[in-house]
Amino acid sequence: MTKINKSHIHLTLSHILNDDPDIALDDIRAKVPEIKSRIIMQDTLVYMEEQQILMNPRLLIRNCEGYTNYYMIARVKSWDDLYRNVICRNYEFIDSALYIRSWEGNRLAYLKYHNELQKEVDDVLEEGPLEYYEVIYPQCITDEKIENIGEPDEKSKIPADKLDKRFDWDYDTKQVFEWLSINYRLNLTRIGKLLDISRTTAKRKKDLVKEFVHVHYPTYIQSLYSYTGVLSSFHTEYPEFVKGIFRNLSATSYLLGNQKQTLCHINTTLPGYVIRVFEKLEAKAIIEDLNVEIPVKNWNRIQEEYKLGRIPEKLFWMFKRKKRKRIELPGSSFT
């Protein structure tokens, strides 16, 4: 295998793919002079995917008429309680979930869902619409600490993101979305065969889906399992400043929420440092009413369908290689 195992190249490739999620291999190679051939490019991307440095793109449907994103943080009894009494009862509406074990027997769940849950959740601590969803792309090959946090120059506001369209997808469009969520780079001819539609129809449906979604490739420069997720919730009048604080990390992270409450999910190799940063931000009154936790389990529907044997593993791989070892499909990166 003629791969390039250099973190700065991996970071560059991540930026290129996130700038254009549909970019062809030859166009990627044209942007990276250090990669001398198409074979080396292919092998490098295969390596990144197998080592879980580069993950399959996540598709987030934007708020629009007929579709609204929400979050909830609730108290649960256990992971089994969360799975059986919350996730299974709202299977079609919950997009992802995190499970948190706190001190003194507290068990919490973070849910990201759309529209309305069919079964009410007991003991809700916090909930609201997700008016914006900001991806914090990695800018470094290793997590770097900030010596001086500084002070924000002025207050900021992240505007609500709402698409001026109506969500009225037909069955085939929803099915194309599901397959793109499994593997965004899946060949259109293959999608057509899976759904018994023509390639032309599959392309038309994909183009429609692209009008409604944000697409990004989660990236973990040191490999996924080197990172710990840190989930926080707080109020702030300086969300852009908070977002900028975490640009010096080496994995994809997220800032999301509404005008009243902000949530931040940081993927880091330095979880203790990240928690201390949040505490310093609170001490400086840049953020208020801070809650911060480290989730211990996660769930999403694609991961579930894979474990149940409903999705062949070969359909997950974005970049082709003849033989691969079976992997344990990783969980959600928060979306």
Residue 128 tokens read as 């609201």
Residue 327: pLDDT over 60: no
Residue 329: pLDDT over 80: no
d(CA 279, CA 287): 9
Kindly report the pTM of this predicted structure.
Answer: 0.93
Give the pLDDT confidence of 192-251 residue by residue, as tens digits. 999 999 999 999 999 999 999 999 999 999 999 999 999 999 999 999 999 999 989 999
b/e map 95-120, b = 16+ CB within 10 Å: bbbbbbeeeeeebbbbbbbbeebeee
Taking alpha carbons only, the member of 212, 234, 100 closest to residue 167 is 212
Residue 295 tokens read as 């989730």
* Residue spans per domain, the chain: 7-51
Percentage of the chain exceeding pLDDT 90: 86
How far from the centroid of its chain's Cα atoms is residue 103's Cα? 27
Give the pLDDT confidence of 124-171 residue by residue, as tens digits. 999 999 999 999 999 999 999 988 889 999 999 999 999 999 999 999
Residue 83 tokens read as 């799975």
Residue 328: pLDDT over 80: no
Give the pLDDT confidence of 15-42 residue by residue, as tens digits. 999 999 999 999 999 999 999 899 999 9
In the block, tokens 């549909």 appear at: 22
